[in-house]
A and B are shown apart, each in its own frame.
Chain A
């Protein structure tokens, strides 16, 4: 039988809280260091201990590291899901299971290679310490897999040493468990004893100059480099790790010469307070942000309208999870898009950014503040669980050299040169007014910021004309913003008549899906949205294609509808493809429906 080399998917099924996370990280990192493109999907429950969890590792020599739901191997460690896990193996694949789960032989499949491993016995060989037994069972399957798949031993050891760098005892116990696993496999799981093992890894050089990182970590780091000085937040999965990343790096690298903090992080009492603290800090002139997820975003609606109308720089990072309501807090979706675009009552719109890679999460750590301060408005960065919490290979991020944009802020010196200062006047014809910061020592500087009706002088007004003047000027500001937000990225193929629009984490399965479509004879052009309001390129792309498939991870075609609101003249060209079951999107869920729709068109 021909072996699958550097091109397979392993799903490890464990129990939440058993410590499998670090074992799986060791596996994926080992593959990365062997130079093999690899991706990891942590399909975890909203629970601390006891519920089922899966970790899907995909090695792919061609660089497709997004989700793939066809598993070439399953490692079954969880009694609660073992029978379903057995069903999920591809025909011809491997089912490696814990003997202690006592799976009846009659239930095992004939079309899979079934390997039973006595984990309890092996754990007893690895340690006498009761509290370590559960954890080391995971390291033992890493050892077994390393032997079966040919993971480079030196690489594996280096990963373990780095992972537990400052804990010699932990390194020692893990290495012992690895060796127990490897020895067991070498003795008992040879091809002659169990049959041909179909999966193999070989060293490559495809990860050089790259890093393996999740989007939330990259975003937190991007905020450090992007000049974030203020973060207030209320803990919520899956945005928590974003703030934790910012806190971790800020505490290390954002101290002044006296060791004092050049940042403030405030754990707020709720999301209402979190966003209002950001508004206060933005009003004072700080680069301020909050991070949240669906339910928190709902609570931030009122203050978002204040940011829009009083024109205060504000940033929200929304790491989307499934809704509505509490939804599936640990599963992924892009279903906040429609709500976020016009968050709040009244006529509002916001600048949205759609990062698709950890590199972009880092970059938008600065872009979000540049735009918020330039346009004196709310910027919402729309990440999601798949991007934010899963590991991705990304090019090593370049050191940012772009200066911060702080927007039209008038200081004492400038005010002295001006005959008058009107806070909400369109002085430059671009819709963007000038602002002063509190604490400015000039008689013209002070004004009362308010969410109630105001005129160009920032005075309270109920005058219909004055009210509308300000409201219409803000529209102009967003017209200007269209030319300054990150442009979409367009990739074309020769002869393509079909266009595809997608955004965020959909990008990765899209790369694979377009290659699949191409081999099936369908050339496609692809526009990856990176921001709202839409830049002119979006219009041109739609105009120049007969059919445009809008691919997104929500039920209601939210992005398609937003595009439709902007370009109603192209309504008949837009076709929706959606996935919203909470699992990360894979390529076939794009290519198959698209081909079907193409055939019927």
Chain B
């Protein structure tokens, strides 16, 4: 594992993000001084909380990248753990599920990231979809309660797939062997996270500025058609502009960014549907302004596996 801290391109990206956040914070400050009505003030307070949280998240992300592969694996491992915690808290489970859930948190989740940390691609790719999938109903059947058996097992399996397996595809990008680009996969991870998160942020910004028509009123009342097209378009432009850090040429980078943005949008909708069904707005309150960890990574969950496999199939 090579450290990415010395990669000049990565340093440039860091400076770029720093400048972007500085601009965002300045705009936040100006808005705070100028808005009058109570309703807009509420939006601006939330906006500033979001921007401040972004500073923290970006610093943590770059620190993790600077340590080389292991830092990213630990960062995403912790993210999975906290997301699974929010998901399980929100999902009704039965007393008989207790032991299976204990395994999910303390054995299966760490094991998945250990497998990625030791570069065991073959096992990392099937451990949860095959072995954890088999294990959960077996552990539940040993607990001896038949009530809602299928639904109970499925909820735990789903949590492991979405919060752990899909998220682990992000640091798994470091396992890929792309000819001529050894030790540079940190920038692929950066590309994925940057496009997915920029798409989210820009959909929010375009929605707040120009949003008129709701795109999925029953599922995610804040998402608008204007926000969707504006956010996805600019995210694709940003992804295209980042082609020089990836093994892609500009049009390939554009297509990859489009796939990431669309999968991210779908991930946001699916995870929202679960929230609405349970009657809550956010998965938690861990990140000020954003809600829970799951609210921040829902797009990444769905984009990471598709981006990983496209890259692996076409570029390795």
Bound together: no
**B residues whose Cβ falls under 8 Å from a Cβ of A:** none
